Amino acid sequence: MAYINEKRRGIDLVERFDIDQVVRDFVTKGIAIHRIHSLDDTYAINRLLGILGKDSFDIHKKPAIPLPNLLDSMDRIVAYAIDNGLIQDTPGQIDILESQMMELITPLPSEVNKNFWNHYEEAPMRATDEFYRLSQDNNYIKTRQIAKNKRFAVDTDYGNLKITINLSKPEKTREQIEMAHNTPVSVYPACALCLENEGYKGREDAAARSNHRVVRIPLLGENWGFQYSPYSYYNEHCIIFTRHHVPMHVSEKTIGNLLEIVSLFPHYFVGSNAGLPIVGGSILSHEHYQGGRQHFPMEDAKVLYRWDLKNHSEVEAEILYWPLSVIRLRASDPDEIYAAGCLILDKWQAYSDPAAGILAEKEGQKHNAVTIVARRKGEAYELDMVLRNNRTSEEFPDGIFHPHKDVQHIKKENIGLIEVLGLAILPPRLETELMEVAAYLLDRPNFIADYHKAWGDEMKQTAEYTAENVMDTIRNGVGNKFLRVLEDAGVYKQTPEGQAALKRFLETLNA
């Protein structure tokens, strides 16, 4: 008999179990959900016994009725391994064991690719549906951890902004992002996005990926990888990445690739972070895009005005009412929208307007960049070009167009593609810190963080708080802070002066 402390799932008890029974249940459940073939029953049991260092098994064990959830059986096997000294009770070693177990219900990469493209011939959505389901069934997508995330929406003048307090995966600091960007390729795999992660056992400083699979997709004559994010921030959060470990580089080719991806998968959006530090998201060391089946707040942004783009009469061009500076292009011909997008990218990367604080380059450092989003609207293509700039100054050492100090107690990380679209990915520290803010507002004993105190004092001046209304008020406050984060990141503010400066840039597109 072995034991599992069920406190992991919120049940404060110790349960006895028979490891042979758990192994039998794991394999039988795998067969029941069509992830293990019935002819592979004995093979799968022996593979599990090998992982656990067991050389015997009670072949007369019958499956439990009802069958336990596959992840529950996985938990019990992990507990057995810890209790018997097979692994240490550390996140890294647990991940490695879980990944090895889930490899038993994961087809070989060649089979995954074959199935994907067979399903694609029926319908693109069928291919992604099946691959997404596999990635959930085999625990590559960490569904239980993702379920811990806190989510709410806040109504603003720009529409509903979506807020997530990310409890499933710690966010990276700016220093960590830049360190990864500058780290020489001297380890294997070189980064978390490299194709070499597929099937990699893992170690303490590299994630376990025995159950990881990548679909190869062709993009304009090159092979790219397609996978799902293990810590999905939204529905069917996928990542498309280059075969080779090369840094992020946004160019005309990027626009072509994004349009090709939404041609391949018209039910998905896809976007690219800007390619520069501060404005470039959390991974700059490996060129990649992010996509999925998700409707974001920016998609519903109001149109401020439309204008004619000279020499591109088939392209509708709009300026959105959004905290960041967004030019939206729309056309039925992808070649037309590609040419218009390339024009904006090329012009912006070389554009300076000192009066508006925009310098394309200084002391050999490039500052202008674009976050790009592509999607389909029926037969039409849409391309959102979000203008970015990563300059710093003595007043704003973290970035002139980056969250400023007075909002960094809520969000200080880089504002990448997902935040640009109106979905906040906020750090896990806020779960407990906001409870302390609530206690502070209710004049109860608290341990409010010093960096939240000014915000708490400000809120105290605006309302009376009760146990019933305090958290709603705090959530609204968080949403408005995120709005400020986005406004700080906008190169042209929604003011008369900001919009006049934006029009000066637009005039260069027709010059």
pTM: 0.92
Strand-pair partners of 242: 224
Q: Are strands 159-165 and 150-156 parallel, antiparallel or unpaired?
A: antiparallel
Classify 380 as helix, strand or coil. strand
In angstroms, rounded to a whole number, what is the distance separating the alpha carbons of residues 177 and 248?
A: 12
What single-letter amino acid sits at 174?
R
Backbone φ and ψ for 12, nearest 5 degrees, come out as -90, 75
Backbone φ and ψ for 370, nearest 5 degrees, come out as -135, 130
Instruction: Walk along the chain (511 residues) and give the pLDDT tens digit of each residue.
Output: 555 555 444 434 456 789 999 999 999 999 999 999 999 999 999 999 999 999 999 999 999 999 999 999 999 999 999 999 999 999 999 999 999 999 999 999 999 999 999 999 999 999 999 999 999 999 999 999 999 999 999 999 999 999 999 998 654 555 545 555 555 545 899 999 999 999 999 987 889 999 999 999 999 999 999 999 999 999 999 999 999 999 999 999 999 999 999 999 999 999 999 999 999 877 899 999 999 999 999 999 999 999 999 999 999 999 999 999 999 999 999 999 999 999 999 999 999 999 999 999 998 999 999 999 999 999 999 999 999 999 999 999 999 999 999 999 999 999 999 999 999 999 999 999 999 999 999 999 999 999 999 999 999 998 899 999 999 999 999 999 999 999 999 999 999 999 999 999 999 999 8
In angstroms, rounded to a whole number, what is the distance separating the alpha carbons of residues 387 and 322?
A: 12
**Of 279, 274, 344, whose CA–CA distance to 309 is shortest?**
344
Backbone φ and ψ for 487, nearest 5 degrees, come out as -65, -40
Residue 478 CA, distance from chain mean position: 20
Classify 445 as helix, strand or coil. coil
In angstroms, rounded to a whole number, what is the distance separating the alpha carbons of residues 81 and 217?
A: 38
Domains of the chain: 2-105 (no CATH), 145-159+180-401+495-509 (3.30.428), 424-489 (no CATH)
- The conformation of residue 288, written as its DSSP 8-state character, comes to E
